[in-house]
Structure 1
């Protein structure tokens, strides 16, 4: 462990000790290993490189409880977001306190050793409410907490073996120590950081330029390239956009560097967290905007956080943190002046032009013009590569319904009609065929059914990513699993859920294989609709009852839906 004291921040704790890797190869192979998730890998990297200073590992139980209770570590240090290592119950039971665990990336590379000092089962509802202020699953961090994270937390000191490997944008991946050294070498005594997870447009360029000018400081564009909000534009596309927009700043005033952070979208507390991290990276100021790091609206249609909650909380603690907040000035384009101005400075009677993020996405999806006053042509071109018009995107058509509802029949009819159109490759992932070729070893327990649907979702996401039609026709009885599949696929293209809502009585009447009869006699266990529940979709894109229409008519309805949504022309 190395402590580095720099003029651009406090003590920087680096945890890399690579010599251990060579001297302990045999020992490492004898230890229990944990394969890190993507979020855990991001957290570990910032622990190792000092981005999470003063943390020296994953939080102990007492530090975790103190963060939940007071937003501070046990020693009183301000720290708003718990950094924990969640594992499965089975893995936790296989290790003891004081054991060393090898932490490996998804390729099996040993990145660090965790000396386990604590092991506990958290109250996740308490964590959700204390940290994020809600148990609403529409909040990405709350969803992760309840639906993806392990049951048990491990805490303890970390000894780093090597940093996670990155093959992209190596020239932009500065550690905190490297960035501080650059600032010192260049004489950048005041540095304003701009946090972003989205592409930058002209308004962002103007507001960041003004913020740096106001503070007589240099500007660091410091986008998150670890994990952001599901559905965000991928970081490869965003970095290309940032490189284009960097040309619009005066030379030697602005730099771009990438932050491998896994965001929680935690609003006010995340703003504090971002400030601590940017101080570790050597920044003296942080731009904080309206609803900073907010995840949007909850299931009732209300914002999770107030528009200025983040600014108020950071203002309250900025002296203690030693980093100054620069409030976001909302910039608007004034038609008569042909320039961007702070909204409060616009005289009455002048015409304000603005395009929301939602409107930008609509224009990209429909191939419509995005005006030059809003964004730079090079940036728009990059976005069009990433988000082509819908009629050029891949799409998954995901059927769900009881056995015998008619899913496979409609899916086959739809496949033929799409092949007739011929503008994209078409793949049918029928439930029975997938069971035969991808999931032959699985049974019909809830766990195995979920695995089967997740496999279908993964294959469909790859087809969608590559511009094809993926037609999926499983039973898919559970809402949560269908939601996970939707979330996975919508990052790559379109997703249309179709509920084939044929009644249980009709499905039993049609049953040529006698499966329902066997299920009612108890011969077949865990049969959907009889001894296992079917959870109907709450908001599918289309509902079809095959009593009321033929397969040909149903397929035609789906084609019209695809046309109406812009996926076919």
Structure 2
């Protein structure tokens, strides 16, 4: 088996990082060549992968994996030459793009704006078994796992492998002083005389417990601290990296006289648990770390469809520790830190006495508090960090929200949505945008048909617009049939990354909708003149757990609006109408009780 690492801080291959950028003198000619080549526009994940392939963050990789290397990684967590590598780094493309490509072809890889970043010399083209990949890499076929979901729902069916020639690094306009590649960061660490460096991986804001943890790791190892957060692609619903980096910068000021550096990692996480932890360790070795903190359930994706953890709590630590000698990087286990009220400071959980009051708050609980507008306790984080989080996640009455109506044609959803929009505008508390299904079809989705694919595309376009409205604190009111449960779930995930989401099922039965039939559509569908009509010749999949259910046989539009307004007030998205404005403001800043998930209106 080949040696994984050489001495000191050096990575494989004779102590050289695998930098795939062409010399500056050749880049103009490569740009001219790339303009003549077939080009693939990289998505966000592929863009992150390309950057770390080009700058050496993914050393020893020379490019996107060949089929032989890919199959070896899946079966043994090693490249075909025996070097340890646990995560397949592949370029997935569409069938249309792959059609006509041959081994030896050169392909331009472009960012979403069309800028040529690299040329891939194609050595392999194959159609993988993505279900097998999910099982081998993530030990799961459950699509609630983000990595599995990407493989089975979003990835292209054809993989391209080959070597890369970099033309230009991906462009970043934010936090440029904190974006060091492996070679630059290793040089900076060496200039500071840091022989030992302990790296801390995070995709969340850091708080007082994390600071104390890194301090203890530094004292334990005699190392300087490298805070190395992921700012590429993380788990859906995570706090955006702009907010997180500002939090890290504030926290940095709380390290008094200690050797600590902040640098950003443009990694696309797979949330792959143990395999991902091993991958993170290799990457941090490439960036100059001698030690790496591995957490409990490191890079875990949360719960599966059965409500169980995907991985054991210490599997990641065990796997990294088992390969530590081969990697040449020492694993430092993440110790659970708790706040001991009697002593007024953080300690490892095992150091607290049984008669002492210990306090802790998980990342999930923090996100819930931010979402609900609840207090962030002083013992948990520093005031300046809390202020940044509150700026990004204001009280609920100022948070964006999408009200997503779904139901059969003629169910009354558009009528209720219009009445709700008018009522909210009358009250004047919030800015609203009404995205009615028919109006959107004319203005946003003109040209789309009514196939399953086009219907999904239409709903996801609406969801994207709604997410942007929510992101900026507005209320988006969407009214469309949206017949398919999985598409509605994708819409929810898209919106919840930016704000709140309330699904309102207008459950009026088919028979009543047919009786109304003001447009005559049901009659045409029954006569076979309209194909694929929802409820007649195409299914409608009712929501299983909507926030609100309204049957308009028994509820007038005004009464339905009253119920929705009541729900929004209870949830904190609107100030209660009976309170004076100042008192309402004060109440909205305090704790908002969690609501039962479903409210049925008949």
TM-score by length of 2: 0.92
The Cα offsets for residues 482-527 of structure 1, whole Å up to 9 and x where unpaired, read as 1221111111111111111111222111112221121122211221
Kept in 2: contact 1:224–1:259 (CA 8 A)? yes
Structure 1 counterpart of 2:328: 322
1:90 lines up with 2:96 in the alignment:
yes
Contact 1:9–1:283 under 8 Å retained in 2: no
1:331 and 1:275 mapped to 2: Cα distance?
A: 22
Question: Does residue 506 of the first structure (1) align with residue 512 of the second (2)?
Answer: yes
**Matches for 1:67-82 after TM superposition, within 5 Å:** 67-82=73-88
Partner of 1:562: 568
How do 1:26-175 residues align onto structure 2 when only pairs under 5 Å count? Answer: 26-175=32-181
Q: Give yes or no for the alignment of 1:15 onto 2:20.
A: yes
Q: What is the alpha-carbon distance in structure 2 between the residues aligned to residue 525 and residue 372 of structure 1? A: 60
Following the alignment from structure 1 to structure 2, what is the Cα–Cα distance between the partners of residues 312 and 24?
A: 45
Measure how far apart 1:531 and its partner are.
1.8
The one of 269, 272, 277 equivalent to 1:271 is 277
Deviation at 1:317, TM superposition (A): 0.8
Matched, 1:332 2:333: no
Taking the aligned partners of 1:148 and 1:230, their CA distance within structure 2 comes to: 14
- Looking at structure 1, the residues matched to 479 and 26 of structure 2 have their Cα atoms a distance apart, in angstroms, of 51
Q: Aligned equivalents of 2:334 and 2:365: distance in 1?
A: 21
Residue 145 of structure 1 deviates from its aligned partner by 0.9
* Structure 1 Cα separation of the partners of residues 149 and 348 of structure 2: 36
Q: Secondary structure at the match of 1:192?
A: strand
Q: What is the CA–CA distance in structure 2 between the aligned matches of 1:261 and 1:19, rounded to whole Å? A: 29
Structure 1 residue 369, shift from structure 2 partner = 3.0
Unaligned runs of 5+ in 2: 576-602
Residue by residue, what CA displacement relative to the aligned partner does 1:53-102 show, whole Å, maximum 9, x if unpaired? Answer: 00001011111111111111111111111000010111111322211110
- 1:390-431 Cα offsets, whole Å, 9 max, x none, are 111011000111111111011011112211221111111100
Give the secondary structure class of the aligned counterpart of 2:35: helix
The offset of 1:443, in angstroms, is: 1.4
Separation in structure 1 between the aligned mates of residue 477 and residue 258 of structure 2, nearest angstrom: 52
Is the Cα–Cα contact under 8 Å of residues 30 and 167 in structure 2 kept in the other structure? Answer: no
Q: 1:5, 1:12 within 8 Å by CA — same for their partners in 2?
A: no
Deviation at 1:208, TM superposition (A): 0.4
1:186 paired residue among 176, 189, 192: 192
**Which residue number corresponds to residue 291 of structure 1?**
297
Deviation at 1:274, TM superposition (A): 0.1
Moved more, 259-268 or 12-21: 12-21
How far 1:296 sits from its partner (Å)? 0.6
**Greater mean deviation of Cα atoms: 213-222 or 16-25:** 16-25
More displaced stretch, 477-486 vs 429-438 = 477-486
Sort the Cα spacing of 1:543 and 1:100 in 2 relative to 1 into closer, same or farther, 3 A: same
**Matched residue, 2:218:** 212
Over the aligned positions, Cα root-mean-square deviation in angstroms equals: 1.4
Residue among 222, 230, 237 paired with 1:224: 230
Shift of 1:6: 8.6
Asked whether the equivalents of residues 6 and 180 of structure 1 are also in contact (C-alpha less than 8 Å), the reply is no
Match of 1:386 in 2: 392
Q: TM-score, normalised by structure 1?
A: 0.97
Determine the C-alpha separation between the residues in 2 that align with 1:366 and 1:57.
44
Quote the offset at 1:360 in angstroms: 2.4
SS of 1:275's partner is helix
Partners of 2:141 and 2:148 within 8 A in 1: yes
User: Any conservation in 1 of the 2:506–2:550 contact (CA below 8 Å)?
Assistant: yes
* 2:487 corresponding residue in structure 1: 481
Deviation per CA, 1:23-57: give whole Å up to 9, x if none: 14443222100000000000000000000000001
Q: Does 1:282 align with 2:288?
A: yes
- 1:151 offset after TM fit, Å? 1.1
The alpha carbon displacement at 1:252 in A equals 5.2
- Structure 1: give runs of 5+ residues left out of the alignment: none
SS in structure 2 of the partner of residue 129 of structure 1? helix
Distance 2:389 2:9 in 1: 35
Once the two structures are superposed, the pairs formed by residues 486-497 of structure 1 within 5 Å of their partners are 486-497=492-503
Correspondence for 1:249: 255
* 1:177 correspondence with 2:179: no
2-side partners of 1:414 and 1:192: how far apart?
Answer: 55
CA shift in 2, pair 1:350/1:241, >3 Å: same
Aligned CA distance change for structure 1 residues 342 and 281 (closer, same or farther; 3 Å): same
Post-superposition CA distance 1:328-369 (Å, at most 9, x none): 111111111111111111122111122233432343334443
What SS does structure 1 have at the residue aligned with 2:491? Answer: helix
